[in-house]
Amino acid sequence: MSERPQGAGSSNQIRLRKLATDGRLTEYAMAAPADDRALLVSAAYEITWPIVFGRVTRRVELARGHLACYSSIRHLADECLDGFHDDVEAVVEDLLTHSTKPIINLEAWITSRLNAATVDAYRRRRGQRGALQRPRLPKWLAEAVGNDPWLTELATQILVWVGVDATAGAAIWPLDSWSQRRAAITGDQSGSDAATVAREIEFVLRAMRRKHEWFTQYVEEPQGRKQPPIGGGVYLADHDIGDQAMPTTARDDVDDGRLMELAATAVDVIAHRLAQGEDITTIAAEVVKKVFCLGTGAGDIDRAPLEGRTDDEQISTFMTDPAVIQRIIDAVHSIAALQGSTTT
């Protein structure tokens, strides 16, 4: 009897699960015609993506400090979404390649192989980029930075960063997340800012350049294969302030993007606290004020004096108006209702 599908969607998932239960999924997938294999891949994707997002993506995004990306697939930034798809594709390929024995609980089997599948694929992608597959700090480089705990960690992070697809928006390096890491390692909260980390990156890069061929092969060339920073900015190396972008994107577009990300974060925080049983009339104003009005000012560092945004001041004023608060409450209820309808 032919095992080619009579329908699509869930019927292909049922067929895939039956093949896995019988221990014949890999055998069938390897021999299947291209169009039939594509249907199996699609069914496998539908089964695996929730597992990958819940077990891999959210952990990664939380470690990066990407709260919006952590909250929902809908909020994944472009580079984070690319990484998510890479991981799902790796897990799907692993499923179709290694399902040679009967699998009773498919989700549990996939979960047990998540780390191996995604790490192996990650290393292959790094190798294709020309970066070190397993970044390790050479002894000579550790000595060149004085075996300093933070600087050796920063050097390792540079080796990791040049080999991944992720970008840092309009910057070359993820200064904000590395500033947080610096604070955690050194205990220097006030001194761990983007400008300090930028200067330290330049120091580490100078140390790396002592081995010219090594630097070219494992840092310069892999970094050159990364997607250009958003906005196609022109970068000027300044040893006093680090690499600074001269963005070509419109300022309003940048501001709108920041506000959209903050709004997504506010909605998710409110939804989470609602799920904990808190009263929306109590938390709406509090969350919006915290999310929008307690920034560090890093977003305005590239502006001329007196040209900074005044959104936080306007929002603080608006939040004293009961009508504004009620509109926020209504909007959250509408979003929650929409999300509920799309998951049923």
What whole-number distance in Å separates Cα of residue 124 and Cα of residue 162? 14
What whole-number distance in Å separates Cα of residue 57 and Cα of residue 80? 8
Residue 50's pLDDT is 93
Chain-centroid distance, C-alpha 38 = 27
Q: Tell me the two tokens of residue 261.
A: 């990300």
Q: Residue type at 180? A: Q
Region of residue 144 (left: phi > 0; alpha: psi -120 to 50; beta: else): alpha
> CB under 8 Å to 210, separation ≥6 — which residues?
140, 144
Q: Are 210 and 145 in contact (CB under 8 A)?
A: no
Residue 32's pLDDT is 92
Residue 97's pLDDT is 93
Q: How many helices (H) and strands (E) does the chain have?
A: 18, 2
Under DSSP, the state recorded for 128 is: H
Residue 41's pLDDT is 92
Q: Residue type at 178? A: W
Reference 200, options 236, 241, 163, 169; nearest CA is 241
Q: What global pTM score does this model have?
A: 0.46
Cβ atoms within 10 Å, residue 343: 6
Residue 16's pLDDT is 95
pLDDT means per 10 residues, the chain with 344 residues, are 43 93 94 91 92 90 79 81 86 93 93 86 69 80 92 91 72 84 89 91 92 89 69 36 37 48 66 75 72 47 40 56 70 57 42
